[in-house]
Structure 1
Amino acid sequence: MGNITKKGSRELVTDTAKSLEDGSLVVLHTKLYEAIMREDCTSIQALLRCHPVNQPMTVLANSTSYRLLLNQQTQSIIPIHLAAEYRRAQSLLCLLEHGANPEVRDTRGLTTLHLMLLHWPITSTTWTKPGDRIQRILTDIQNNAVTCLRILCEHGAQVNARVDNSNKHSPLHLAITYGTYPVLSILAQNGAHVNAINESTMTPLHMAADILNKEMIETLIACGADINCAVSTTGNTALKLAVCSASSKAGRLLAAGVSCIRLLLIHGAKVNAQDHEGQTAIHEACFGGREAIINLLLEFEANVNILTRNGESPIYMYLQRSSNVRDTALLASLLSRSYPLRLTNNQGILPAGIMLPEFHLLRETLIKLAQKPLSLEDICKRNIRNIYGEKYKQHLKQVLPVKIWNSVYGYYDLAYLLK
């Protein structure tokens, strides 16, 4: 540990030895705790002469300096865990240089790195004015956390060590769970497996897509995440998970997820990838009935005629919900791309939404449309709309004669038919 030359350190060692002789172990632990919190490296070094660096310390809850840490009468905590949780960078470095093991686990199976991620500061500054005092404080807190993380990585912390519980989360999974996206690139740079799976066979990208966190998705893609990796238990891709979340009631109310879905599609997400049930992103989007999501997927050439293993088409999923059925304009848009129009599943069952009494006339109209064979001209129009979609709609307008273009894209008369 080297020679201790600062004034007062020898007296501290003598006092500590006397405390031990008197049986006052709690006094030693309290002093070590206080030294770590003050980042008093000289005192830490001296106290480590009498306290093994990887041994837990127990401090009374009524200790003035320990009240913020504990709500119980006493609690044991390993010195390096304390320094990491409270982002005491100098204390952390001092402990590591004096033999602290970053892989030592607490009673919950958490390493020092796990604990740091669990206690990562949430320091959003969106509500502060640029340059004000609070913003500077929050920025300093964030920077200090990053410094501690880098110190841990530089001193051999295992960036792929999994939590010893049922989730089996890696540090990257923990970072996603607790919203600590600034650490993702640091962990990846230090060897974290960006495509690691947890107990649910989900990668960090799956988790980030599921919660519609664009910053995390962007960072993980930049770090080499496999964008089309499927969850082995369900077959879900990041795109399908994002569409599912964005199409939910919460996603609709918050108008969330469109930018995340577009980001995944731009970076090569397979829009027609099917899960184990044969469902695709457009099935999820149609069931949710959110027009912005449906149109975005169609822009990237989603197949509106693809069937699930049970024979369910995207329009079948759309008609499952009564709230969707009432949006006749969107229904007309989907019908204009559907061929052949399949209203039943493999068991011949119609969608639940159109079985309500209020939709009796609409149901009869749709059944007639499904039974009526299309002309070759109408089939060609549907194929053009499906191949070129909304993405090249305006380009075709410049290329095709006006009459032909209007004929191809003039399908809104269906909305009148469905009223």
Structure 2
Amino acid sequence: MQSIAEHLLVENIADVNCQGGVYGNALQVACWREHRDTVQLLLEHKADVNAQGGQCGNALHAAISKQNKDIVQLLLEHKADVNAQGGQFGNALQAASIGGNKDIVQLLLKHKADVNAQGGQYGNALQAASIGGNKDIIQLLLEHKAVVNTQCGQYGNALQAASWRGNKDSVQLLLKHKADVNAQGGQDGNALQAASIGGNKDIMQLLLKHKTDVNAQGGKYGNALQAASLRGNKDIVQLLLEHKANVNAQGESMGVPSRQLLLNNTSILSGFF
């Protein structure tokens, strides 16, 4: 028995590329719902595989968001534009990287995805993989010539994203590939402040070992010591002070000396002053 969709298409009743709704078009809905047979049927009836719109941006992004490699492969076989811009994550490779699906990332790279394409919430695929904490995908992207120090996106660069995420293996890998430990940018200003905000002492020790500037200014908390002071993390504060953090530095965004923040936080005050 024919499905309703097949009947409508065969009888030329339905406009296969009609736009509207949360998912923009029928093909994107079918990809989101992971109905492979319907995706195949729509493509056979000339659905526009690269139509833009809807919550996911396009059909390829919808399939990737569900981590459905089979449908991704089908769309690529029908000439889906692997580098099309759109959706929350900007492009297909960034969406796959944040999702942590190495097989799909490999498939996209095989189809000539631009490893350094910019856009979306995380700026590029490497930063997305770093915030996702997926070392294997970071390694794969670097092998395909991802630029480790590109500045863009919510976290400024891949090292800052990995530091905030708290994945030491990812941080070590990025440093091995010459990530700039003192690069400025992003919501947290630099990698050390990002690690400080997350309370990641092991990562902070690693960054300090690689000569990060303990007093670097920037980001929403001004500097790493202010971030740690606001979080009330005594171990992190101790570590920063041991590395000559300036207690009198005024953060650019807070405008208050770190000493004052420490004085305001009785839980970490004991033993410092």
1:239 CA displacement: 0.8
Kept in 1, the 8 Å contact 2:82–2:113? The answer is yes
- For 1:94 and 1:297, the matched residues in 2 are separated by 53
Higher helix content, 1 or 2: 1
Say whether 1:291 aligns with 2:201: yes
- For 1:359 and 1:88, the matched residues in 2 are separated by 57
Identical pairs, percent? 22
- For 2:256 and 2:52, the matched residues in 1 are separated by 57
- The structure with higher relative contact order (CA 8 Å, sep 6+) is 2
Aligned to 2:156: 236
Please tell me the residue identity of whatever aligns with 2:66: H
Query: Which has the larger Rg?
Result: 1
1:343 CA displacement: 1.0
Aligned to 1:337: 243
Say whether 1:194 aligns with 2:104: no
- For 1:243 and 1:263, the matched residues in 2 are separated by 12
- For 1:102 and 1:92, the matched residues in 2 are separated by 10
Aligned to 1:352: 261
Kept in 2, the 8 Å contact 1:53–1:100? The answer is no
Give the alignment's TM-score, normalised by structure 2.
0.73
Aligned to 1:282: 192
Aligned residues: 262
- For 2:195 and 2:28, the matched residues in 1 are separated by 48
Alignment of 1:392-407 (within 5 A): none
Aligned counterpart for 1:119 among listed residues 50, 62, 66 = 66
Unaligned runs of 5+ in 2: 19-23
Kept in 2, the 8 Å contact 1:319–1:351? The answer is no
Aligned to 2:90: 169
C-alpha distance 321-30 of structure 1, shift in aligned 2 (>3 A): closer
C-alpha distance 261-50 of structure 1, shift in aligned 2 (>3 A): same
Aligned counterpart for 1:258 among listed residues 168, 171, 196 = 168
Aligned to 1:209: 130
Aligned to 1:322: 232
Cα deviations across residues 49-86 of structure 1 (Å, max 9, x unaligned)? 533786279xxxxxxxxxxxxxxxxxx97479647853
Say whether 1:154 aligns with 2:115: no
Aligned counterpart for 2:271 among listed residues 362, 376, 384 = 362
- For 1:243 and 1:201, the matched residues in 2 are separated by 14
Kept in 2, the 8 Å contact 1:320–1:351? The answer is no
C-alpha distance 355-200 of structure 1, shift in aligned 2 (>3 A): same
C-alpha distance 30-239 of structure 1, shift in aligned 2 (>3 A): same
Unaligned runs of 5+ in 1: 1-26, 34-46, 58-75, 122-144, 247-256, 365-419
Aligned counterpart for 2:179 among listed residues 260, 263, 269 = 269
Helix, strand or coil at the partner of 1:362: coil
- For 1:278 and 1:88, the matched residues in 2 are separated by 42
Aligned counterpart for 2:213 among listed residues 295, 303, 317 = 303
1:96 CA displacement: 4.4
Cα deviations across residues 291-348 of structure 1 (Å, max 9, x unaligned)? 21122212333233x3315996644544444332xx39x82x544432xx52112367
Say whether 1:51 aligns with 2:12: yes
1:179 CA displacement: 4.2
- For 1:31 and 1:264, the matched residues in 2 are separated by 48
C-alpha distance 155-308 of structure 1, shift in aligned 2 (>3 A): same
Please tell me the residue identity of whatever aligns with 1:184: V
C-alpha distance 53-191 of structure 1, shift in aligned 2 (>3 A): farther
Aligned to 1:38: none
Alignment of 1:34-113 (within 5 A): 50-51=11-12, 55=16, 78=26, 82=30, 85-86=33-34, 88=36, 96=43, 99-104=46-51, 108=55, 110-113=57-60
